[in-house]
């Protein structure tokens, strides 16, 4: 069976510090991968998605970037965090022909 992992679960970082959130998927190959940010009252905002290694599409101009160094690994990064980067970050995967997305447990990021 497939599983998706995210870490860390929670993170408190000062403004201006770097960020690296990691997401890995097990039990499948060549998944589509997604990063979302969830804010109260605003639902889920798609940040990045990837259909293959090295292929990243950005949805929102922002202080964040994403990379996919391996088939089942998706990383969300920032060189300098802003207060507005605080939120709940969700990673998800899907198989192209199936369409459902499967979500990870999420990372709560607080920028102080």
Partner 1 sequence: AQTVTQSQPEMSVQEAETVTLSCTYDTSESNYYLFWYKQPPSRQMILVIRQEAYKQQNATENRFSVNFQKAAKSFSLKISDSQLGDTAMYFCAFMTTSGTYKYIFGTGTRLKVLA
Token readout for 86 is 């605080």
Residue 75 beta carbon to partner 1: minimum distance, rounded to whole angstroms: 19
| 105 sits near partner 1 (criterion: CB under 8 A) | yes
The span of 12-20, 29-37, 60-68, 70-78 binding partner 1 (CB under 8 A) equals: 29-37
Closer residue to partner 1 (CB): 75 or 91 = 91
3-state SS class at 40: coil
Asked whether the beta carbons of 1 and 55 are under 8 A apart, the reply is no
Closer residue to partner 1 (CB): 14 or 43 = 43
Half-sphere exposure of 81 (CA within 13 A, CB side): 20
The contact pattern for partner 1, residues 80-99, with x = CB under 8 A and - = no contact, is --------x-x-x-x-x--x
Helix-strand-coil split of the chain, %, nearest 5: 5, 60, 40
Q: CA 57 to CA 3: how far, in whole Å?
A: 23
Q: Tell me which residues touch partner 1 (CB under 8 A).
A: 32, 34, 36, 41-44, 46, 49, 51, 59, 88, 90, 92, 94, 96, 99-106
């Amino acid at each position: 069976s497939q599983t998706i992992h995210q870490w860390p679960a929670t993170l408190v970082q000062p403004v201006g510090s770097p960020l690296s959130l990691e997401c890995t998927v097990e039990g499948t190959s060549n998944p589509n991968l997604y990063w979302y940010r969830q804010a109260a009252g605003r639902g889920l905002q798609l940040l990045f998605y990837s259909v293959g290694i090295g292929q990243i599409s950005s949805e929102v101009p922002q202080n964040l970037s994403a990379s996919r160094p391996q088939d089942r690994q998706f990383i969300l990064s920032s060189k300098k965090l802003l207060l507005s980067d605080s939120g709940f970050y969700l990673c998800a995967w899907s198989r192209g022909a199936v369409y459902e997305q499967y979500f990870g447990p999420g990372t709560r990021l607080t920028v102080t």
